[in-house]
């Protein structure tokens, strides 16, 4: 999910901006410009845009086609195949298109099927059956429960202990928060669950990072409502976007007001993108209100499969092994 998709939302999306890569939306979509960077989007069986509900409001799909479960209105598909499970109106569907319901005012490339049509402009020809690509994207559209994937990932990350020595330093003079630490096997974890109110304070103006080459950096939070307006210093949003995962576990609402770097996981809440703030990474949430651009930076790190024991856990383990060894020696004697 973190590699094939730029956006995954299990509920609704309202957008006035664009997404560079592939998107999956379980609910309805109003507005937006999707798959801006077709050649940079990782390969997948999924279409460029998959929507479980309705799609409307001056939408552009620039490549890799779309699969929509409900009605479509005011949509332009510039490239790729389109499957529409409901009715279609006032749209331009270049490439091959299948409309389960009625088609009214549609500019078609090649028409596979429509139950009925009116005011149609057919630039290509009528095909006899769906193509292999359309069958593949249709099968993929319902193959994964992304709600379970996101909540499972969020719980898995939340179980990780903060890396020994990882620190969060606050500078009152310039309202800067600095994240510092050394990775273990490439992974660096920051536990922010007791620091949320300070890290995401309205007075925090800057985020700085001393990560010493970590390939995966995870930030765990647990506040219900968070607002972030801090700037990522020195172009770090762009430089680190593929390495960072912000796990907003338990959050009902996360609002960003400045360019943000990393994969934003809001499994049970809404991400609100205010003031045309860009995301350098990905958005994985229950709902999305988008005004800024979401730039494609697929996750390049590694997700730990088991919690990393804390130092005191190792000490207890060693002490326990020592006790077992002592008892074994006594029994042998």
Domain parsing of the chain, residue ranges = 7-145, 156-296
What tens digit of pLDDT does each residue of 155-165 get? 999 999 999 99
* pLDDT digits (tens), the chain, 333 positions: 999 999 999 999 999 999 999 999 999 999 999 999 999 999 999 999 999 999 999 999 999 999 999 999 999 999 999 999 999 999 999 999 999 999 999 999 999 999 999 999 999 999 988 999 999 999 999 999 999 999 999 999 999 999 999 999 999 878 999 999 999 999 999 999 999 999 999 899 999 999 999 999 999 999 999 999 999 999 999 999 999 999 999 999 999 999 999 999 999 999 999 989 999 999 999 999 999 999 999 999 999 886 555 555 445 545 555 554 555 555 555
For 185, residues 6+ apart whose C-beta sits below 8 A from its C-beta are: none
d(CA 184, CA 215): 10
Token readout for 100 is: 């389960």
Q: CA–CA distance from 201 to each of 148, 228, 232, 247, 269 (Å)? A: 31, 8, 15, 17, 19
Could you give the CA distance from residue 70 to residue 55 in angstroms, rounded to a whole number?
A: 7
Alpha carbons 8 and 2: distance in angstroms, whole number: 9
- pTM score, two decimals? 0.91
Tokens, residue 305? 């499969």
- Whether 57 contacts 43, CB under 8 Å: no
> Who's near 330: CB < 8 A, 6+ residues apart?
none
Q: What is the pLDDT of residues 112-129, one digit of tens each?
A: 999 999 999 999 999 988
**CA atoms of 215 and 234, how far apart (whole Å):** 18
Contacts of 85 (CB under 8 A, 6+ apart): 68, 69, 70, 100, 101
Give the per-residue pLDDT at 316: 52
């Amino acid at each position: 999910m973190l590699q094939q998709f730029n956006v995954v939302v299990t509920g609704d999306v309202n957008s006035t901006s664009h997404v560079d890569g592939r998107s999956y939306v379980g609910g309805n979509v109003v507005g937006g410009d999707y798959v801006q960077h077709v050649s940079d989007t990782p390969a997948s069986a999924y279409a460029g845009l998959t929507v479980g509900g309705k799609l409307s409001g001056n939408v552009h799909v620039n490549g890799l086609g779309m699969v929509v479960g409900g009605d479509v209105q005011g949509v332009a598909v510039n490239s790729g195949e389109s499957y529409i499970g409901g009715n279609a109106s006032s749209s331009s569907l270049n490439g091959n298109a299948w409309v389960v319901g009625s088609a009214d005012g549609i500019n078609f490339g090649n028409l596979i099927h429509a139950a009925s049509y009116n005011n149609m402009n057919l630039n290509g020809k009528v095909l006899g059956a769906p193509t292999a690509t359309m069958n593949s994207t249709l099968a993929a559209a319902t193959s994964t429960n992304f709600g379970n994937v996101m909540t499972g990932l969020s719980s898995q990350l939340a179980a990780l202990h903060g890396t020994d020595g990882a620190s969060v330093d606050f500078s009152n003079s310039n309202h800067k928060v600095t994240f510092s630490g050394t990775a273990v096997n490439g992974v660096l974890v920051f536990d922010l669950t007791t620091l949320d109110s300070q890290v995401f304070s309205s007075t925090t103006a800057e985020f700085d990072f001393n990560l010493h080459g970590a390939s995966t950096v995870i930030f765990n939070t647990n506040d219900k409502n968070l607002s972030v307006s801090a700037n990522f210093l020195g172009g770090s949003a762009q430089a680190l976007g593929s390495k960072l995962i912000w796990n907003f576990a338990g959050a009902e609402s996360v609002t960003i007001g400045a360019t943000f770097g990393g994969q934003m996981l809001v499994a049970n809440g809404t991400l609100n993108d205010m003031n045309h703030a860009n995301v350098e990474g990905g958005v994985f949430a229950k709902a999305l209100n988008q005004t800024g651009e979401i730039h494609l930076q697929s996750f390049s790190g590694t997700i730990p499969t088991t919690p990393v024991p804390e130092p005191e856990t190792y000490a207890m383990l060693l002490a326990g092994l020592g006790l077992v060894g002592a008892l074994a020696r006594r029994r042998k004697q």
